[in-house]
Amino acid sequence: MAVLVTGGLGYVGSHAVKHLVDRGEQVVTLDNLIFGHTQAASGSEVVVGDIGDKDLLRQIFSKHSIDSVMHFAAFADVGESVADPKKYYVNNISNSLAMLDVMLEFGVKMMIFSSSAATFGEPEIVPIPEDHPKNPTNPYGRSKLMLEEILREYEHAYGLRAISFRYFNASGADPSGLIGEDHKPEHHLIPLILQVALGQREKISVFGSDWPTPDGTCVRDYVHVSDLAQAHLLGLDALRNGKGTTEYNLGNGNGYSVREVIAVAEEVSGKSIKSVDADRRPGDPAVLVASSEKIVKELGWEPKFPDLRTIIQTAWNWHNTHPNGYSGK
Ligand code: UFG
């Protein structure tokens, strides 16, 4: 049986594809190449197209014996989602619903869904457990929460079982050095810091230094992208063994401030990284740290790269050898 991976040429999706291929799964990767990179396919069969294209999906499901879908494809820029919510609800919700229609038509009833810590909003308790109240502060987070809720109803009504993984701050790169993070434009902290280390950017702006945290900068839970990918394999196995719909947080339970991340990146790269204090970024919670006890207990998830230094080391290896990402120039 094959696994269909949507958004499989993007950052987290491509790491999951590599893990699937490495353990001998048959993988069909569907990506519209808005943000994906064909070089990130790890030998999987690539179909270029959109999750909202029902005819294309019917062709894929007719041609391959697909038992499950890993659904990464989505827009994921928090700031943009506030400025243009339509874009997020159309792609992340309507297009996902179109894909779910075709899955049901073909009797494909297992899905792993890429959700986000952005479903929680400002936390009331840290580390954040799965059952923490959900008050997303932006349309991106709301679109992820809505699909989680839809998936719960689809299990009840149609028997489609889904595991939603709420990623905290995905970071790092596959230790092989073959795939890594390449967003254009880049908004994420670690790659931006490493661009400063590479001399591609003059400085990093620290978004707020007056947050209620020990050094005044935002605290996040950075989780290695390969550990996220490994969780997807465990989730797939659980679904194949009959697991019902549920949600899991994926983080390390350790919070690091923006300044701490910069300091570790300086040590790892051996470069001095210039930073300037800037205004707070609207919509940023002060602290986002996961409790991932549920997946550790239920699926035996064991992160291999939990410490920030290793995470940044693997990111640095990638950026240093691919200063222009996959374009190679
Ligand atoms: N930051 C800076 N300067 C920058 C970029 C980021 O100070 O130039 C700060 C941010 O304010 C934040 C931290 O660095 O405090 C991390 O920022 P990222 O943009 O790397 O990540 P976020 O925590 O904002 O967002 C990530 C994912 C989102 C997801 C969110 C919650 O990128 O998709 O986690 O799950 F919604």
Residues 135, 277 within the same domain: no
Q: Is 140 an active-site residue?
A: yes
From 170, 182, 173, select the one nearest 39 (Cα to Cα).
Answer: 182
Residues 59, 163 within the same domain: yes
Residues 243, 265 within the same domain: no
Residues 70, 112 within the same domain: yes
For ligand 1, whether the C-beta of 209 sits within 6 Å is no
For ligand 1, whether the C-beta of 189 sits within 6 Å is yes
Residues 13, 154 within the same domain: yes
Residues 211, 193 within the same domain: yes
Residues 231, 269 within the same domain: no
Residues 236, 301 within the same domain: no
For ligand 1, whether the C-beta of 206 sits within 6 Å is yes
State the CATH number of the domain containing residue 151. Answer: 3.40.50.720
Is residue 176 one of the residues assigned to a domain?
no
> How far is ligand 1, taken at its centre, from the CA of residue 124, in Å?
19
What is the position in ligand 1's atom list of the atom closest to the CA of 207? 7
Question: Which protein residue's CA is at the shortest distance from atom 15 of ligand 1?
Answer: 218
> How far is ligand 1, taken at its centre, from the CA of residue 168, in Å?
10
For ligand 1, whether the C-beta of 284 sits within 6 Å is yes
Q: Which domain holds residue 62?
A: 2-171+222-250
The whole-number pLDDT of residue 79 equals: 87
Classify the phi-psi angles of 183: left when phi > 0, otherwise alpha if psi is within -120 to 50, otherwise beta. Answer: beta
pLDDT digit string (tens) for the chain, length 329 residues = 999 999 999 999 999 999 999 999 999 999 999 999 999 999 999 999 999 999 999 999 999 999 999 999 999 998 899 999 999 999 999 999 999 999 999 999 999 999 999 999 989 999 999 999 999 999 999 999 999 999 999 999 999 999 999 999 999 999 999 999 999 999 999 999 999 999 999 999 999 999 999 999 999 999 999 999 999 999 999 999 999 999 999 999 999 999 999 999 999 999 999 999 999 988 789 999 999 999 999 999 999 999 999 999 999 999 999 999 998 64
Task: State both tokens at 210.
Answer: 């007056």
Pocket test of ligand 1: the residue of 88, 203, 218, 219 to mutate, having most ligand atoms within 8 Å of its CB, is: 218
Is residue 7 one of the residues assigned to a domain?
yes
For ligand 1, whether the C-beta of 12 sits within 6 Å is no
The whole-number pLDDT of residue 328 equals: 66
CA torsion sign, 206 to 209 to 212 to 214? Answer: positive
Residues 206, 67 within the same domain: no
User: Which residues, 6 or more positions from 285, have their beta carbon under 8 angstroms from its beta carbon?
Assistant: 121, 122, 123, 137, 218
Residues 166, 304 within the same domain: no
For ligand 1, whether the C-beta of 203 sits within 6 Å is no
Domain count within the chain: 2
For ligand 1, whether the C-beta of 76 sits within 6 Å is yes
Residues 23, 129 within the same domain: yes
The whole-number pLDDT of residue 282 equals: 82
Is residue 181 one of the residues assigned to a domain?
no
Pocket test of ligand 1: the residue of 12, 203, 258, 264 to mutate, having most ligand atoms within 8 Å of its CB, is: 258
What is the position in ligand 1's atom list of the atom closest to the CA of 192? 8
Is residue 178 one of the residues assigned to a domain?
no
Question: Which protein residue's CA is at the shortest distance from atom 1 of ligand 1?
Answer: 189
Q: Which residue is it, tokens 């300091």?
A: 263
> How far is ligand 1, taken at its centre, from the CA of residue 266, in Å?
19
> How far is ligand 1, taken at its centre, from the CA of residue 178, in Å?
25
